[in-house]
Structures are given as C-alpha cells and as structure tokens.
Amino acid sequence: MCMSSESTLRTKKRKSDLREWIESALAAIAIALLLKFFVFEFVLVEGSSMNPTLNDGDRLIVTKPQYYFNDPTYKDVIIMHYSDDVEYVKRIVAVGGDTVEIKDSVLYVNKIAVEENYIDGSIVPDYPETTVPDGTYFVLGDNRDNSRDSRYADVGFVKADDIVGKVYFRIYPFEEIGRIE
C-alpha cells in the first residue's frame, strides 16, 4: 500500500512540474508578444535605399511607444508597412499640410531647401511641388536614386496607422552600433 501511494505522489509531482513548466513557457511567450507588438522589435535591413545611414544587413531596434503619445516628425527614420508582408525603412521629410518638391536634386519643404547631411549626394530626378494631405507623411530613402518611397504611387503618402515604429538603435554590425538619428 505504501508503494502505491508513493507512486501516486511521484506522478502528481511530475504532473505539477509539467503544468508549472507549461504555465511559465506560456507566460514568457505572452510577455514576448506584448513587447513585440507594443514596445519594440528587431528588424533586418534589406536593400540599399537608406545608404549611407543604414546598410543592407544592418540589424535595428525599432521602438513603438513614442508614437502612442507623439506624432512622428521631420527626419524620423521609421519602419512602415508597404504591404501585408513587406515593411520599408524610410525617413520622414514632410508632414500633412507641407509642400514638397525636389528640384536640381535639392529637397524643398514649404519652399525652403532642406539641409540633408545624411543623403549620399546622388543626382535625382525632379519631383513636382506636391501638398502632403493632412494625417499623412511624405517619406524618402536617403539613397534617393535607389529608393521606392513617397515619390511613387504604389507607396504614396504614408498614413500614421502604417507606421510601425521609430528606428532607434543599430545593434549590428558591431563596429557601427549606436543610435540612429
């Protein structure tokens, strides 16, 4: 009789340990998902549209909470939804109500030339003066002659809901680790 109750206790202990392990794993998964969807996520840069600021293969931390309380602003480097399964990294150059124009490879916002020390200096086609609709953003890649951005109809003006978060920090390659401005 003693053997049977000892065996039963061991079985209950194993079930209790297994249940505890499963509950811990589910809690960890829930916390990780909450962090990914509401706080930050890791992103891999694919392509050269943001050269020289960001390069193909860079790994980034994207933060999300600041856009819960504040609107995205000029020069923010953001991750945005392009389609259901594709995200782009771009820089905000104008907000709703602004006019945007590119003439002789110079960006003008509200008829004022923007100093852009982050672009590669390539020659880009002119873009006609356009007014950015309220509630949207005009984004460009830093590598203007190799970027699919708001100048193209398939990207167009970016709605706030399509902005995933702000690129905050480069974590790889290690020799370039640091904040992204």
**Close Cβ partners of 35 (under 8 Å, ≥ 6 residues apart):** none
- In angstroms, the CA 88 to CA 51 distance is 13
Provide the terminal-to-terminal Cα distance of the chain, rounded to the nearest Å: 73
Residues assigned a catalytic role: 49, 90
Q: What gap in Å lies between CA 13 and CA 112, rounded to an integer?
A: 73
Determine whether 148 is exposed, middle or buried from the number of CB atoms within 10 Å of its CB (0-12, 13-18, 19+). middle
Are 166 and 76 within 8 A, CB to CB? Answer: yes
- C-alpha angle 27/29/30, rounded to 5°? 65
